[in-house]
Amino acid sequence: MATEAQAVPPVGSRLKALREGLGLSLRDLSERSGVSAPMLSQVERGETSPTLAVAARIASGLELTLSQLLRLDEGEGVTIVREADRLGGGAAGWGHSYEVLTPSLPGQRAEVSAHTLAPSAGTAGPGDPPIHEPGSRETAVVTAGKLRLVCDGTPYDLDAGDAVTFDADLPHHFENAGKKEARFFAVVSAGLRRS
């Protein structure tokens, strides 16, 4: 039976990747978790393993559960999202629908979604997600129809087969610029520090 003083499996490289992925310094995570920056540094370098109590505080500072930090709730490194299990959204009444094709896993750095726009419809309507976190990038690939990206007020026309990459933290939306249904895939990568 596990006790609070029991050490957890090695999590150093995962902790560092999660912390950096959130754009946090060791000091930031220390303030959020109540675990000292030197202790966090030692854990990241694999010089020590935190107790379960300390690991729980670190997880909380990363806004994860202990199971998510330790990957206790994951399988063998492969996750399949079946078509019937996709998370959907959008504003169908406004002519936009989408499905998220990637699983919701802790530390996930990108999300892939499939979108459908009716003629004259656009994204950024009710039920659509907000603008992405600072530093996010998005790539869209048009698979059918004509699409217009309006990014920071500038329109960009795209045809089937075209791809576009842009700063997703800028105000943006897509419009169906044609007379037939438009379809596209979008890949949003998590915010990265620009230094």
Residue ranges and CATH numbers for the domains of the chain are: 12-70 (1.10.260.40), 83-189 (2.60.120.10)
Contact 160, 190 (CB under 8 A): no
- Whether pLDDT at 65 is above 70: yes
Token pair of 190 as six digits: 């998590």
Q: What DSSP line would sit under 102-115, residue for residue?
A: S---TT--EEEEEE
Q: What is the pLDDT of residues 162-171, one digit of tens each?
A: 999 999 888 8
Mean pLDDT of 178-190: 92
Confidence band for 9, pLDDT divided at 50, 70 and 90: low
pLDDT at 88: 77
Among 18-27, 83-92, 119-128, 149-158, the range of highest mean pLDDT: 149-158
pTM: 0.59
**Average pLDDT of the residues in 74-95:** 71
Task: Measure the CA–CA gap between 193 and 191, rounded to whole angstroms.
Answer: 7
Neighbours of 27 (CB within 10 A): 11
CA geometry: angle 84, 148, 99, nearest 5 deg: 10
The predicted pLDDT at position 142 comes to 97
Band of residue 29 on the pLDDT scale cut at 50, 70, 90: very high
Q: Which residue has the higher pLDDT, 49 or 33?
A: 33
Lookup: tokens for 77: 């490194």
CA 56 to chain centre: 22
